[in-house]
A and B are shown apart, each in its own frame.
Chain A
Amino acid sequence: MTPGGTSGAPGVVVVTGVGRYLGAHVAARLAADPRIERVIGVDAPDSGTEFTDLLDRVERIRVDSGSLGGLLADLDVDAVVHLALVTSPDPAHGGRSAMKDQNVIGSMQMLAACQRAPRLRKLVVRSSTAAYGVSFRDPAVFTEETEPREVPRGGFGRDILDLEGYVRGFRRRRPDVTATVLRFAPFIGSTADTTLTRYFSQPFVPTVFGRDPRLQFLHFDDALEVLHRSIVEDHPGTYNVAGPGVLSLSQAIRRAGRVAVPVLEPGLSGAAALARTMGFGRYGLDQVDLFVHGRVVDTSRLEQEYGFTPRSTAEAFEDFIRAHHGGVVVTRGQLAAAEQLVLDGIRQVRSAVRERSS
């Protein structure tokens, strides 16, 4: 009997990185889907317990990535969702070297384990639009076919390039497995807590002088939806996942009611490097490069293949603003009031002048 009954939906799904925000939510959502028999959450042995209440219907296994191979074979796994990626070095958990261990070595071992799992039919890998690298010669909009012109300076971008390289190798060796690579734009939303949401939550937001990058965001709930569909349906290939439309950074900051503080680029890069060596702050060269070049992707392939359009970048950002109105410096209401005030003032002055002259 084919596990799970329906043609697309797999019976046993392994989700990695359930100790983190995205992984926990994906695992919980898959566990709530009646078409899926078993959801197994895999995580590193030292991971925290913050999402345990979310994961009550998920079997959790704490194992280090080296011993994954036997596990996947023993469990008769049908599908693997690989979400255990670290987007920025966390000084509390080993900084950049731990990040690379997790992103590159962890993913290699994961893929090696998948290769040896005989019943595996589906692999879904979380990637990032950072896979396009950064260069001044880049086209304005990346399609899935665009090759990176330069290797990015930032650690995360390089990790993503490595990861996608390993997935290409896996596809060659296991052509029977449906491999889906999802290149996500930065997540944003009312509840998500990411480097970018923390960045936009500050009242004064540092930007790069003379640069106003075009940004795209993906609402967290839409990311969950796309991941869910990738598991229960068959969508082989690589897809850009982002909210259609664009916000420029200055526009986003203004919409959030924050104040932009332009900083010269070498200064910002230096500060990022300094912060990293000093062991505080989570902004890296990845962020600096994003704020110099911006990144916009074409999502038409996703919309065609999945029949699903994520909410637009502007809507996703609006949702984030509504949830983070704490640090607002200028609100739209204040601006509108100021406009009315100035207009009334001018009208009064003019009518006074007219009276005096007549």
Chain B
Amino acid sequence: MSGPEEGRDPQSVGRFDVPQQVPAPDAEPARRNGHRPAAQAAPIPTEPPASTTPPASAPTPTSAPTSTSTPSDEVDAGLTGGTEPAVSDRPGDHWDRKVANGLAFLRRRLSGDYEVDEFGFDSELTDAVFHPLLRLLYRDWFRTEVSGVEHVPVDGPALVVGNHSGTVALDALILSAALHDKHPAHRYLRLLGADLVFRMPVVSELARKTGGTVACNPDAERLLGGGDLVGVFPEGFKGIGKLYADRYKLQRFGRGGFVSAALRTGTPIVPVAIVGGEEIYPMLADIKPLARLLKLPYFPVTPTFPLLGPLGMVPLPSKWLIEFCPPIPTAHLTDSADDPLVVFNLADQVRETIQQTLHTLLERRPDPFGP
């Protein structure tokens, strides 16, 4: 509803930036940071057309994604390189290197010449195949804007806690790919998934290859102890399986197992608010008997899903905003990992931070399917 495409950026900045800065001069750096990309992008939209808006959202970090995106091109080049001689009459060196890299990648894959860590994480495959696919999705399809990346530590462990949404847990994958691309150190987010994920063939292996593991305290503490960045969604199925009417209402945070994992390892907690996930598969109803029959936590009915069959699996192109909030230190609470009062208080603090950030982000995004 935000009107013509060209006028979008100045308009949205003009409408939402000014009132935001009046009540919050210094107090909330996270919110202000959230606006920095938009403010910086404001002078740019004069030259790029509307189709290239996503790169304009954050000028500095985009240089990194383009450099990391080469592996995907390499794979494509390795498979279809022979059919594109028309392009290659530019300095031939470039394409030649791409083809050679692509073939070398294929050979390494076929001869098993790569490393897998003890959780099954295959960083080469993630970089070369999964992240390029997710990049298309988050950058071009969802036009994701990421802010507050500086709150994620450059090294050492951190526990990233987000809101879960979207019927299918796509937000977790988008978050990990976007964080990897935008973060200066290009850190991998190691996601913790429900055991249902690991029960399903194929899905379980995709989850492990991309760095996921079962959501349990031993695994979380092991990853954090090893200095990894761990991503959790404490709402679990309650979050992704909620109806569209309940969108952006945070569900219960369970027993706060994630908090005790952070406390035991003295790891800072970085709350993250994700806006946009709720609209990709708006769940209008939940057919409970069918879910029970299929042993699923819910059986969704979306405007497109059982109706259009497999076509209903295409996510709606909502506008995504991801904001990382300032980290909550826990190093001073290491002794109270078993104290339910401390655990619940901290879980509540994280929950409140995410909920409030969600509200401010939603204000910035009046039209869920806007540009």
Q: Is the Cβ of B85 less than 8 Å from the Cβ of A349?
A: yes
Chain B interface size, as a band, is 35 or more
Contacting residues of chain A (185-212) with chain B, CB-CB under 8 angstroms? 208-212
Partner of B201 from A210, A246, A357 at Cβ < 8 Å: A210
Shortest Cβ distance from A200 into chain B, in angstroms? 12
Shortest Cβ distance from A353 into chain B, in angstroms? 4
Q: Is the Cβ of B216 less than 8 Å from the Cβ of A146?
A: no
Identity of the chain B residue whose Cβ is nearest the Cβ of A250 in the assembled complex: B112
Q: Is the Cβ of A143 less than 8 Å from the Cβ of B218?
A: yes
Q: Is the Cβ of A136 less than 8 Å from the Cβ of B219?
A: no
Chain A residue numbers with a CB within 8 Å of B218 are: 139, 141, 143, 146
Q: Is the Cβ of A350 less than 8 Å from the Cβ of B107?
A: no
Q: Is the Cβ of B112 less than 8 Å from the Cβ of A255?
A: yes
Chain A residue numbers with a CB within 8 Å of B209 are: 212
Q: Is the Cβ of B111 less than 8 Å from the Cβ of A254?
A: yes
CA A251 to CA B95, docked complex, whole Å: 29
B26 at interface by CB-CB < 8 Å = no
Q: Name the segment of B117-125, B149-157, B255-263 touching the other chain.
A: B117-125
B328 at interface by CB-CB < 8 Å = no
Identity of the chain A residue whose Cβ is nearest the Cβ of B120 in the assembled complex: A214
A354 at interface by CB-CB < 8 Å = yes
Shortest Cβ distance from B269 into chain A, in angstroms? 21
Contacting residues of chain B (216-261) with chain A, CB-CB under 8 angstroms? 216, 218-219, 222
CA A243 to CA B116, docked complex, whole Å: 14
Identity of the chain B residue whose Cβ is nearest the Cβ of A296 in the assembled complex: B118
Contacting residues of chain B (84-116) with chain A, CB-CB under 8 angstroms? 85, 88-89, 92, 95-96, 99-100, 103-104, 106-107, 109-114, 116
Q: Is the Cβ of B107 less than 8 Å from the Cβ of A141?
A: no
Identity of the chain A residue whose Cβ is nearest the Cβ of B104 in the assembled complex: A339
B82 at interface by CB-CB < 8 Å = yes
A234 at interface by CB-CB < 8 Å = no
CA A246 to CA B92, docked complex, whole Å: 40
Identity of the chain A residue whose Cβ is nearest the Cβ of B220 in the assembled complex: A139
Partner of A343 from B85, B99, B205 at Cβ < 8 Å: B99
CA A164 to CA B198, docked complex, whole Å: 28
A332 at interface by CB-CB < 8 Å = yes
A319 at interface by CB-CB < 8 Å = no
Q: Is the Cβ of A330 less than 8 Å from the Cβ of B205?
A: no
Q: Is the Cβ of A343 less than 8 Å from the Cβ of B219?
A: no
Chain A residue numbers with a CB within 8 Å of B82 are: 345-346, 349-350
CA A214 to CA B219, docked complex, whole Å: 15
Q: Is the Cβ of B119 less than 8 Å from the Cβ of A253?
A: no
B213 at interface by CB-CB < 8 Å = yes
Interface digits, A236-272 against B, CB 8 Å rule (1 contact, 0 not)? 0000000001111011111101000000010000000
Contacting residues of chain A (141-156) with chain B, CB-CB under 8 angstroms? 141, 143, 146
A323 at interface by CB-CB < 8 Å = no
Q: Is the Cβ of B116 less than 8 Å from the Cβ of A255?
A: no
Shortest Cβ distance from B103 into chain A, in angstroms? 5
CA A354 to CA B91, docked complex, whole Å: 11
Identity of the chain B residue whose Cβ is nearest the Cβ of A358 in the assembled complex: B89
Chain A residue numbers with a CB within 8 Å of B116 are: 214, 246-248, 251
Identity of the chain B residue whose Cβ is nearest the Cβ of A350 in the assembled complex: B85
B204 at interface by CB-CB < 8 Å = yes
CA A252 to CA B96, docked complex, whole Å: 31
Q: Is the Cβ of A265 less than 8 Å from the Cβ of B201?
A: yes
Shortest Cβ distance from B198 into chain A, in angstroms? 5
Q: Is the Cβ of B201 less than 8 Å from the Cβ of A209?
A: yes
Partner of B205 from A210, A245, A357 at Cβ < 8 Å: A210
CA A208 to CA B113, docked complex, whole Å: 22
Shortest Cβ distance from A347 into chain B, in angstroms? 7
Identity of the chain B residue whose Cβ is nearest the Cβ of A356 in the assembled complex: B85
CA A247 to CA B111, docked complex, whole Å: 13
Shortest Cβ distance from A208 into chain B, in angstroms? 8
Partner of A141 from B96, B112, B119, B205 at Cβ < 8 Å: B119
Partner of A346 from B81, B198, B205 at Cβ < 8 Å: B81
A138 at interface by CB-CB < 8 Å = yes
Q: Is the Cβ of B118 less than 8 Å from the Cβ of A246?
A: yes
Q: Is the Cβ of A211 less than 8 Å from the Cβ of B88?
A: no
Q: Is the Cβ of A140 less than 8 Å from the Cβ of B205?
A: no
CA A296 to CA B213, docked complex, whole Å: 13
Chain B residue numbers with a CB within 8 Å of A332 are: 111, 113
Q: Is the Cβ of A335 less than 8 Å from the Cβ of B99?
A: no
Partner of A214 from B109, B114, B118 at Cβ < 8 Å: B118
CA A343 to CA B105, docked complex, whole Å: 13
Q: Is the Cβ of B214 less than 8 Å from the Cβ of A138?
A: yes
CA A294 to CA B99, docked complex, whole Å: 35
Q: Is the Cβ of B103 less than 8 Å from the Cβ of A140?
A: no
Q: Is the Cβ of A339 less than 8 Å from the Cβ of B106?
A: yes
A1 at interface by CB-CB < 8 Å = no
Q: Is the Cβ of A248 less than 8 Å from the Cβ of B120?
A: yes
Partner of B117 from A246, A255, A330 at Cβ < 8 Å: A246
B202 at interface by CB-CB < 8 Å = yes
Chain B residue numbers with a CB within 8 Å of A252 are: 112
Q: Is the Cβ of B89 less than 8 Å from the Cβ of A140?
A: no
Chain B residue numbers with a CB within 8 Å of A335 are: 107, 110-111
Partner of B112 from A253, A265, A342 at Cβ < 8 Å: A253
Chain B residue numbers with a CB within 8 Å of A140 are: 118-120, 213-214, 219, 222
CA A173 to CA B114, docked complex, whole Å: 49
- Can you show 19 pairs from A to B with CB atoms below 8 A apart? A136-B214, A137-B195, A139-B218, A140-B119, A140-B214, A211-B201, A212-B208, A247-B116, A248-B120, A250-B112, A252-B112, A254-B109, A330-B111, A332-B113, A339-B106, A346-B81, A346-B99, A350-B82, A354-B92
Known contacts A137-B214, A336-B107, A349-B82; can you find 20 more A-B pairs with CB under 8 A? Answer: A137-B195, A139-B216, A139-B219, A140-B120, A140-B214, A212-B208, A214-B118, A214-B119, A214-B120, A245-B118, A246-B118, A251-B114, A255-B113, A330-B110, A335-B107, A339-B107, A343-B100, A345-B82, A346-B82, A357-B89
Residues of B within 8 A of A (CB): 81-82, 85, 88-89, 92, 95-96, 99-100, 103-104, 106-107, 109-114, 116-120, 122, 195, 198-205, 208-209, 213-214, 216, 218-219, 222
